[in-house]
Structure 1
């Protein structure tokens, strides 16, 4: 019986060996076969699965424990054929068991860099540098297999930070090759930068901290009994094709915890009535945000993500809090805004990498087409809607806020990582004069004009919203610099040549960014290097120079964005860009 395509997992070394056994001509042929994977048919056999390709060619996979052991193709060139290599390349990489899972590295421990560490980092660096040199447009199954094998080696010797970013880089390459809608050029860029940085640290130092070497995987540790108070439920849509809801809670000491239901799907999964998958809870995420939980036998990660093991039991909170009136939640709003922002910019909420939540009191000042300007403790803030969530009420509610200047409210939002000075508004509670306002989740609850008008103080002088010009002016040059780095990722070295690149350097200098301009001048100079050895190959030194120059420019752009973010929130001192 034919079923939808669902290939078993495979060891990355098996894929790399199959690709390496092919001549260059057949490696290109394998890329063409992979491009037709949506037309493959899969059927079961006694020993595993059979993949039916075009032209009556089949590849039989012997599977044990959902992992490929052997692969046999029916064509005459098997086993050194493009069909077998293509099918193996299309299989998802198997999860590798880490020794660090049973022997975790203490947070303050240091690891001495060994020869095995340096060799693994070298192979991972070479695989990522090949992508920078030639671009993802030229990367096929062979390049991805080489990268996955390097990731496997890095993980085996305990270089978890480089292995994790390398795996994400390989996944983005796969999506690009398949022309998947889940492909993210930003994700590819971040994966390349993080992979190269992790390898550089290993090769340039003699010891590594636990943060530099990374952790094997997220660990759930016992935290005992917890009494948690609800804060908000937040819709989540990722670029990798996952969606759902994350509910945030806080205990009496101010520590934040989250309970998530994020699974493959689209924005249709972002509904507030998703049930909470905990024994004894019996509530959905909306009620969880209102009532909180009392847990026994709880487990949580270092970032506060709660586990859902069989030993965990839950009882919904007895009190329904629809106005953030619990003492634990009120304390969050007592922390000064700048202090919250400073903490959020140096940390992120778990594995999603999103900047932390901000809880503050605001007053609406004015509005534009795409945002609402508010003031909080004398600090100008722009409120914006989260990207990638069509069909929810964010945009409608934000427009409603902008129609009532002077409206006062309590707000929970998240710092927009790529937009300095902006806060993604998630939930509000109007400070009404006639009654205690209810919480309005801006994703699902419509905000009315009446409740906002009731929060305006009579005869009050509304604050004037004003932001410095410098923070706004530097965004265009930084965006242009990022676009140039992305173009190199797509097309390789050739995209860093030509008169337009020199104009980029001149524009950065004219924008008062001499340091950033110098880093891009070095990148473009390295791209023009054409010295070759006696066999006509580009000299290794110059290939290395180009990769290092690209990494240095990317790090400087990231650092400049971070400094711009801090300055937009009134943190830090002016400096030379």
Structure 2
């Protein structure tokens, strides 16, 4: 969308769409497209859109986002139940819940809420009660069960329609389910549902940052979580519910060493920078500055002061220096809090080749990959590689590198043209034979593949380059290693004898993109099933057959008329296939890196 609108809370969008008449709902997607081309102005916290010469639409966001239905006003005759208000809410970015924003870190030594000093008798009663409660299995509440079922139905409807058919009305239904889930105490599935809506809007708006794999993963997580929630108990239930707010626990005094900084640019409309640091024991900590914004903020955030104590260090400077923190508070993911009791001053940093940072690269690669596959998220790989050349992939060229005899592919961490990842990789590709110490993020694939985020400076062993923020020049490369631009570098890798799991994965992606009907066309999946069975994937062949059967199965009533498709059966078949491919991909990735015997999830 070309409009620069403030984020709108999911509940607001859902309520406005719900208030439309059936006739106006059919026109909602067209109304969104028309609204995107209208002139608009921003005056402080208010955005005014000229619907026509005589009608204006206003969005009020005093706290940076629209949190109530009354904050969107229209001057047309049909207001407040007009199409314009719902179209504006549907075109705007989705606001994060207040509970999702970074909390003010709790000062060290301050007790948790409700954890006051008990008397002796009170403490004994609490202990006795706790011992009794441990014998009672925790289960979902009726409200949570209803919210999970509603979420499953809404996500199944989106899957049945695909991106082309999942317009603003289906998106609003999913947002309504997300709001209900959050109110019921299910923040994990609510956040995943919002991510699905964001990906749908990116796909329908031809956003270059859209990735079908991201939509598939988000939709799979929503359906899987909603499917498992009603019957989950105890620890499994706690994991599926998730946490609306990350707890920040006191961690005393910390001596941190800067590792690197990377830009953050999400499809949900947030941007900024994250700086990674490590302590003397190799534990990783992050300092982030992420807020609503675009590519400009992602690039400029690196030169903002970090939000820890009173230090004036910028993210770019911290990635090459150190930090001494007292009264530190840390989340379970290693994120440093910025509470009033936190004090921080600049300290000396360390090069990647110096102690204690050098220990990060001493860990065996297989062990690092196993840890990344187990923990997921932002698990990093610390690798010593020798560049070999380039290899062409569907998304573009990526670097080939040798890592202790293992040939791996290093791809750009982000494709946005405002970020220099891709340009830096192209320049490094002109210098085969150069040995580098790099930081990368595992990209699960049947071949060793990682996303490159930082590297040792090619011409200065004591410095490093943040590939998403800094731009390498030809002068930075060793003269002996520089090859003419466009010259062939390295020999092409041997053809892969890859198991044909793509036959199932392709159908999973097709269904997420085009909906159930794309798999309901007449055809025969038997040939693909037999090929999967020949490679030992008989289960994949059965899942493929069931996916096609669920998509094409249409029973008839007593009058011979086609009955509605069984959306739930198709959703179950798709979810089984998506989960299967994810787990097999994980196993193949571990085997490719030699990490198959190092544990797993």
Q: Give the shorter-chain TM-score range.
A: 0.7 to 0.9
Distance 2:440 2:75 in 1: 58
State the SS of the aligned residue for 2:228: helix
Match of 2:508? 485
- 1:369-518 equivalences under 5 Å are 370-388=397-415, 390=417, 391-392=420-421, 394-402=424-432, 404=433, 408-418=435-445, 420-429=447-456, 437-441=461-465, 443=467, 444=470, 445=472, 447-449=476-478, 472-474=496-498, 477-499=500-522, 502=525, 504-509=528-533, 511-518=535-542
1:331 to 2:347 alignment: no
1:18 to partner: Cα distance = 3.8
- Change in 2 beyond 3 A, CA 1:152/1:375: same
**TM-fit CA distance, 1:79:** 4.4
Q: Report the alpha carbon displacement of residue 175 of structure 1 after superposing the two structures with TM.
A: 3.2
Secondary structure at the residue paired with 1:449?
coil
Q: Which stretch of structure 1 is more off in the superposition, 308-317 or 184-193?
A: 308-317
User: Could you say what secondary structure the match of 1:223 adopts?
Assistant: strand
CA contact (8 A) 1:35 1:177 kept: no
Structure with more contact order per residue of length (Cα contacts < 8 Å, sep ≥ 6): 2
Q: How does 1:107-146 map to 2 (within 5 A)?
A: 111-146=138-173
Partner of 2:544 in structure 1?
520
Partner of 2:88: 87
Instruction: Map 1:289-328 to 2 at 5 A.
Output: 289-318=319-348, 320-326=349-355, 328=356
CA distance in 1, matches of 2:316, 2:279: 18
Q: Please name the residue that 1:67 is paired with.
A: 67
1:277 aligned onto 2:295: no
Q: Conserved in 2, the CA contact under 8 Å of 1:474 and 1:511?
A: no
Alignment match, 1:568: 592
- Once residues 258 and 141 of structure 1 are traced to their aligned partners in structure 2, the CA distance between those partners, rounded to angstroms, is 36
**1:244-267 CA deviation, whole Å, 9 max, x = no partner?**
543221112221012234452327
How much does 1:527 deviate? 1.0
Q: How far, CA to CA, are the matches of 1:171 and 1:480 in structure 2?
A: 27
The answer on whether the counterparts of 2:391 and 2:492 sit within 8 Å (CA) in structure 1 is: no
CA distance, structure 1, for counterparts of residue 515 and residue 556 of structure 2: 18
Q: Helix, strand or coil: the match of 2:375? A: coil
Give me the whole-angstrom Cα distance separating, in 1, the residues matched to 2:200 and 2:440. 33
Q: What residue is the counterpart of 2:581 in the other structure?
A: 557
Match of 2:382 in 1: 359
Matching residue of 1:458? none
Cα deviation per residue 1:284-303 (whole Å; 9 max; x = unaligned)? 33432222111123232211
Partner SS for 2:27: helix
Q: 1:534 to 1:222 in 2, by over 3 A?
A: farther
CA contact (8 A) 2:437 2:455 kept: yes
Q: Are the structure 2 counterparts of residues 205 and 275 from structure 1 closer, same or farther at C-alpha, using a change threshold of 3 Å?
A: closer
Number of aligned residues: 541
Q: Unaligned regions of 5+ residues in structure 1, if any?
A: 454-463
Superposed CA RMSD:
4.1
Return 5+ residue gaps in structure 2 as ranges: 104-111, 115-129, 483-489
Inter-partner Cα distance in structure 2 for 1:399 and 1:182: 24
Aligned equivalent of 2:239? 211
Partner SS state of residue 164, structure 2: helix
Question: Measured at CA, do residues 302 and 110 of structure 1 come closer, stay the same or move farther in structure 2, by a change above 3 Å?
Answer: farther
Give the Cα separation in 1 of the matches to 2:478 and 2:301. 23
> 2:187 matched to which residue of 1?
160
Secondary structure, aligned partner of 2:462:
coil
| 8 Å contact from structure 2 (residues 366, 594) kept in 1 | yes
User: C-alpha displacement at 1:374, in angstroms?
Assistant: 4.3
Rounded Cα–Cα distance in structure 1 between residues aligned with 2:562 and 2:80: 31
SS for the counterpart of 1:171 is helix
Contact 2:288 2:306 (C-alpha < 8 Å) held by counterparts: no
Are 2:198 and 2:268, in contact at CA under 8 Å, matched by a contact in 1? no
Match of 1:151 in 2: 178
Q: Distance in 2 between matches of 1:568 and 1:46?
A: 54
Q: What residue is the counterpart of 1:195 in the other structure?
A: 222
For normalisation by structure 2, the TM-score amounts to 0.77
Q: Return the alpha-carbon distance in structure 2 between the equivalents of residues 422 and 251 of structure 1.
A: 28
